[in-house]
Amino acid sequence: MQTQEMMLLVIISESLLEDMIIDEITELGAKGYTITEARGKGTHGKRSGRWTQGGNIRIEVVGDGALCERIIQSLIAKYDVDYGLLMYTLPVTLQN
Protein backbone atom coordinates (compact mmCIF):
# COMPACT_ATOMS: atom_id res chain seq x y z
CA MET A 1 0.00 0.00 0.00
CA GLN A 2 1.23 3.46 -0.87
CA THR A 3 0.95 6.26 1.66
CA GLN A 4 1.48 9.99 1.26
CA GLU A 5 1.85 12.68 3.92
CA MET A 6 -0.45 15.65 3.31
CA MET A 7 -2.34 18.34 5.22
CA LEU A 8 -6.07 18.48 5.90
CA LEU A 9 -7.45 22.02 5.87
CA VAL A 10 -10.80 22.41 7.62
CA ILE A 11 -12.78 25.57 6.93
CA ILE A 12 -15.91 26.33 8.92
CA SER A 13 -17.84 29.27 7.53
CA GLU A 14 -21.25 30.73 7.02
CA SER A 15 -23.09 28.76 4.36
CA LEU A 16 -23.72 31.85 2.24
CA LEU A 17 -19.99 31.84 1.42
CA GLU A 18 -20.04 28.33 -0.06
CA ASP A 19 -19.89 29.21 -3.75
CA MET A 20 -17.30 31.96 -3.24
CA ILE A 21 -15.06 29.74 -1.13
CA ILE A 22 -15.31 26.86 -3.60
CA ASP A 23 -14.36 29.16 -6.47
CA GLU A 24 -11.46 30.51 -4.43
CA ILE A 25 -10.00 27.18 -3.32
CA THR A 26 -10.22 25.64 -6.79
CA GLU A 27 -8.59 28.71 -8.36
CA LEU A 28 -5.79 28.39 -5.81
CA GLY A 29 -5.16 24.77 -6.82
CA ALA A 30 -7.37 22.47 -4.74
CA LYS A 31 -8.17 19.33 -6.71
CA GLY A 32 -11.21 18.46 -4.61
CA TYR A 33 -13.11 19.18 -1.44
CA THR A 34 -15.84 17.84 0.83
CA ILE A 35 -18.67 19.98 2.21
CA THR A 36 -20.97 19.12 5.11
CA GLU A 37 -23.44 21.14 7.14
CA ALA A 38 -22.18 22.14 10.57
CA ARG A 39 -23.70 23.48 13.74
CA GLY A 40 -22.46 24.19 17.22
CA LYS A 41 -21.33 26.98 19.48
CA GLY A 42 -18.12 28.96 19.62
CA THR A 43 -16.76 32.48 19.79
CA HIS A 44 -19.02 33.55 16.93
CA GLY A 45 -22.10 32.42 18.85
CA LYS A 46 -24.45 29.46 18.70
CA ARG A 47 -25.52 28.30 15.23
CA SER A 48 -28.97 26.79 15.27
CA GLY A 49 -28.82 24.62 12.17
CA ARG A 50 -31.76 26.37 10.50
CA TRP A 51 -30.09 26.25 7.11
CA THR A 52 -32.66 28.41 5.34
CA GLN A 53 -31.85 31.20 7.79
CA GLY A 54 -28.11 30.89 7.36
CA GLY A 55 -26.19 28.01 8.89
CA ASN A 56 -22.59 26.92 8.82
CA ILE A 57 -20.71 24.60 6.51
CA ARG A 58 -17.54 22.61 6.99
CA ILE A 59 -15.25 22.38 3.97
CA GLU A 60 -12.35 19.92 3.96
CA VAL A 61 -9.44 20.13 1.54
CA VAL A 62 -6.47 17.75 1.40
CA GLY A 63 -3.28 19.16 -0.09
CA ASP A 64 0.30 20.06 0.61
CA GLY A 65 1.23 22.69 3.17
CA ALA A 66 1.79 25.39 0.55
CA LEU A 67 -1.71 24.95 -0.91
CA CYS A 68 -3.31 25.06 2.53
CA GLU A 69 -1.39 28.22 3.43
CA ARG A 70 -2.42 29.95 0.16
CA ILE A 71 -6.05 29.14 0.82
CA ILE A 72 -5.89 30.27 4.45
CA GLN A 73 -4.26 33.61 3.61
CA SER A 74 -6.68 34.31 0.78
CA LEU A 75 -9.79 33.51 2.82
CA ILE A 76 -8.58 35.56 5.79
CA ALA A 77 -7.97 38.55 3.54
CA LYS A 78 -11.41 38.33 1.89
CA TYR A 79 -13.81 37.07 4.54
CA ASP A 80 -12.45 36.97 8.10
CA VAL A 81 -13.41 40.53 9.09
CA ASP A 82 -17.05 40.39 7.97
CA TYR A 83 -18.04 36.73 8.35
CA GLY A 84 -17.81 33.86 10.80
CA LEU A 85 -14.75 31.91 9.64
CA LEU A 86 -12.66 29.29 11.43
CA MET A 87 -9.80 27.38 9.80
CA TYR A 88 -7.34 24.79 11.04
CA THR A 89 -4.96 22.22 9.58
CA LEU A 90 -4.02 18.71 10.59
CA PRO A 91 -1.37 16.36 9.22
CA VAL A 92 -2.92 13.36 7.45
CA THR A 93 -1.59 10.25 5.76
CA LEU A 94 -3.34 9.24 2.55
CA GLN A 95 -3.76 5.49 2.45
CA ASN A 96 -4.43 4.95 -1.26
Domains along the chain? 4-94 (3.30.70.120)
Indicate the range of 41-45, 61-65, 69-73 predicted with least confidence.
41-45
pLDDT bracket for residue 44 (50, 70, 90): low
pLDDT bracket for residue 33 (50, 70, 90): very high
CA distance 17 to 81: 13
Mean pLDDT across the stretch 18-41?
95
Q: What pLDDT does 51 receive?
A: 42
- How do the residues of the chain divide into helix, strand and coil, expressed in percent and rounded to 5? 30, 40, 25
This prediction has a pTM of: 0.86
Of the chain, the percentage scoring pLDDT greater than 90 comes to: 76
**13 DSSP β-pair partners:** 57, 85
Q: What pLDDT does 94 receive?
A: 93
